[in-house]
Amino acid sequence: MIDIKLIREQKELVKENIKKKFQDEKLSKVDEVYEKDIRYREIKTMADELRNQRNEISSQIGAFVRDKKMDMVSATKEKVNKINKELEALEKEEGILAEEIREIMLIIPNIIDDSVPIGKDDSENVEIERYGKAYKPEYEIPHHADIMTKFDGIDKESAGRTSGEGFYYLMGDIARLNDAMLAHARDYMIDNGFTYCIPPFMIRSDVVNGVMSFAERDVMMYKIENEDLYLIGTSEHSMIGKFKDQITEKDKLPITLTSYSPCFRKEIGSHGIEERGTYRVHQFEKQEMVVICEPKDSMDWYNKMWKLTVDLFRMWNIPVRQFECCSGDLADLKVKSCDIEAWSPRQQKYFEVASCSNLSDAQARRLAIRARNEKGSYFLHTLNNTVVATSRGLIALLENNYNEDGTVTIPKALRPYMGGKEKLIPKK
């Protein structure tokens, strides 16, 4: 949510930003908020004046009682009652306007960074840099589900019986490899100065509405029936929510956290659920990183964060690239975002394995996440980035370490978490 001062003072800037995001249907909302805000401030001023009048008049009643001027007491109380009725009407309108303004402000997109490329959708995202050589093997690499099956490592049929499409059992060495990636990612982030955390896996609606747009919520989140609780789609949701309504002392910043969680997603929309494999599923595990920092430091942290993911995937012998999200592909709360994409030697193309985002103070305004200095309190900036989501990380690892004889070489960084094993040997 942007600062309403931007609409009061730079209305055309807000409109131009909406145009850059190709959301022209929201342009009228800026004018609507502008007009409602004028009326809101008028009412607030009138209400404040009436309260002052009421206090001044009320203060006279005691003196009239002492002087036994009961006619003046009655007349004064009548004036106070009249003011109270006027004030009640104003306060009611003030509350209605405040809620209407907030609801509209929640759908007006954040101001994107000047460096964001302008484009209508993800087809216009921009490749920035490649890390590691994308290659074409001389032998065929099977679909990742078939590789897992060679090791008796995946069972989607049983999961279909227990849970339906979009779920899976990981078994044996593949399940162990999944955990090895998470454990290595956890230790890697701790070694880079992040504090490890396991958060709640359910959050209330006020936190959901604080961390994401309504459109994202409806597409992603599972609602718990008859309770004000949602299953998290990523641990960022509960990690940012941890600081709701909190004021952090300046000397405690930045806050750098890395969190493990299962993630639950509806995955409604054009993509659908993949019948084979683990690329797009309803449930997966992820190691996340979250930073809460001073506004002046957020872009530096953004660049540090996506590079951490690049370095981790390179330790696993996976070529990756940084892919910048264009304006039309940015979620409304984000000012800048990039995807880290891993190379698929089987498909001869890159696919998304991580996403890094700077949300400036958008989440902080919604959730009242602030810091305090000698001048008072101010909103902080929040950032998040995927360390690894193993549902996709496993695909990249298996394909890029698959050998012609059907074995899979375990990257050196993961061997300590695999009991020292150097290779996975197929059972089929």
* pLDDT given at position 218: 81
* pLDDT given at position 56: 79
336: Cβ contacts below 8 Å, ≥ 6 apart: 112, 113, 115, 116, 299, 302, 325, 330, 357, 358
Please determine, for residue 349, whether its predicted confidence score (pLDDT) is greater than 70. yes
pLDDT top residue among 133 and 267:
133
In this prediction, residues 171-175 reach a mean pLDDT of: 97
Please determine, for residue 113, whether its predicted confidence score (pLDDT) is greater than 50. yes
Distance CA 377, CA 251 (A): 13
**Residues 414 and 184: beta-carbon distance below 8 Å:** yes
**Residues 166 and 222: beta-carbon distance below 8 Å:** no
Lowest model confidence (mean pLDDT) among 29-33, 91-95, 177-181, 424-428: 424-428
Distance CA 188, CA 196 (A): 11
* pLDDT given at position 6: 95
**Residues 391 and 279: beta-carbon distance below 8 Å:** yes
- The encoded tokens of residue 212 equal 């994401």
- Sequence length of the chain is 428
Please determine, for residue 273, whether its predicted confidence score (pLDDT) is greater than 60. no
Distance CA 270, CA 259 (A): 30
- The encoded tokens of residue 190 equal 């701790």
**Residues 388 and 181: beta-carbon distance below 8 Å:** yes
pLDDT top residue among 48 and 178:
178
CATH annotation of 122-424: 3.30.930.10
Please determine, for residue 272, whether its predicted confidence score (pLDDT) is greater than 60. no
What percentage of the chain carries pLDDT values higher than 70?
A: 96
Lowest model confidence (mean pLDDT) among 217-221, 314-318, 342-346: 217-221
What percentage of the chain carries pLDDT values higher than 90?
A: 83
Q: pLDDT tens digits for 366-413? A: 999 999 988 889 999 999 999 999 999 999 999 999 999 999 999 999
**Residues 403 and 166: beta-carbon distance below 8 Å:** no
Domains of the chain, by residue range, sit at 4-105, 122-424
At the topology level, CATH places domain 4-105 in Helix Hairpins (1.10.287)
Please determine, for residue 270, whether its predicted confidence score (pLDDT) is greater than 50. no
* pLDDT given at position 138: 95
Lowest model confidence (mean pLDDT) among 200-204, 269-273, 347-351, 361-365: 269-273
- Give me the chain's average pLDDT, please: 93
Element (H, E) at 426: none
Q: pLDDT tens digits for 191-214? A: 999 999 999 999 999 999 999 887
* Dihedral of alpha carbons 16, 21, 26, 30, sign: negative
Q: pLDDT tens digits for 19-78? A: 999 999 999 999 999 999 999 999 999 999 998 888 877 777 766 676 677 777 778 787
Element (H, E) at 262: strand 255-264
* pLDDT given at position 274: 59
